[in-house]
Amino acid sequence: MVRPLKVEIGFGSGDFLIEMARNEPECDFIGIEIYRPGIKKLLHKVETFGTRNIQIICGDAKEIIPSLPGKVSEFFINFPDPWPKRRHRKRRLIKPPVVDLIHKSLAPGGRVALATDIADYAGEMLCYFEAHGSFRNVAGRMNFFSRIEGRVPTKYEKKYLTQGIRIYYLLFEAV
Ligand SMILES: C[S@@+](CC[C@H](N)C(=O)[O-])C[C@H]1O[C@@H](n2cnc3c(N)ncnc32)[C@H](O)[C@@H]1O
């Protein structure tokens, strides 16, 4: 029996990933992160908890997604860098080519869960996934979730929730 594979892109300090992996020992997790100090922090947590179902890959998700070792049942993209200045927006990770890479690596019925506090990035991601044509928006066409029951919060998410900042949750399923 193949174990479900779940992937977090840009895990930061790794709080979400370690908790998910500990909650779901029947799944394998891969964390992709470009920022080395974050990797060091997660390695320390993996060692502390003796977690055996996390693999860490250091690098740019755009290059790593095509060579993941198997079909992915769920991608998590939590608070991707917003690049708020208009002239920097082209650096945002979620663009149509990356949406397509994600779709190609998903198992049938696989899911992509995204979260951001940036309204215009939320709208942009929503449009790209809807326009792809091979995803179903679980929240309903052109809709977000404003909360997800039982969700493990990330480091950024905890901070924003404490400050009362609105978070946009997106959930798409491969069709
Ligand atoms: C704003 S932080 C959010 C961290 C964490 N997901 C959280 O919610 O607490 C965004 C993270 O994505 C990582 N990142 C940005 N672009 C990336 C890329 N192309 N590939 C992998 N990681 C990336 C950054 O290094 C950073 O750790």
Q: Residues 111-163: pLDDT tens digits?
A: 999 999 999 999 999 999 999 999 999 999 999 999 999 999 999 999 999 99
Q: What is the pTM of this model?
A: 0.98
Ligand 1 centroid distance, CA of 82 (Å): 10
Is the beta carbon of 105 within 6 A of some atom in ligand 1?
no
Catalytic-residue membership of 15: no
4 half-sphere exposure, CB direction, 13 A CA radius: 15
In this predicted structure, the answer to whether residue 47 has a pLDDT above a threshold of 90 is yes
| Per-residue model confidence as pLDDT tens digits over 18-40 | 999 999 999 999 999 999 999 99
Q: Domains of the chain (ranges plus CATH)?
A: 5-174 (3.40.50.150)
pLDDT at 1: 82
| Per-residue model confidence as pLDDT tens digits over 84-116 | 999 999 999 999 999 999 999 999 999 999 999
Q: Are 33 and 56 a contacting pair, CB within 8 Å? A: yes
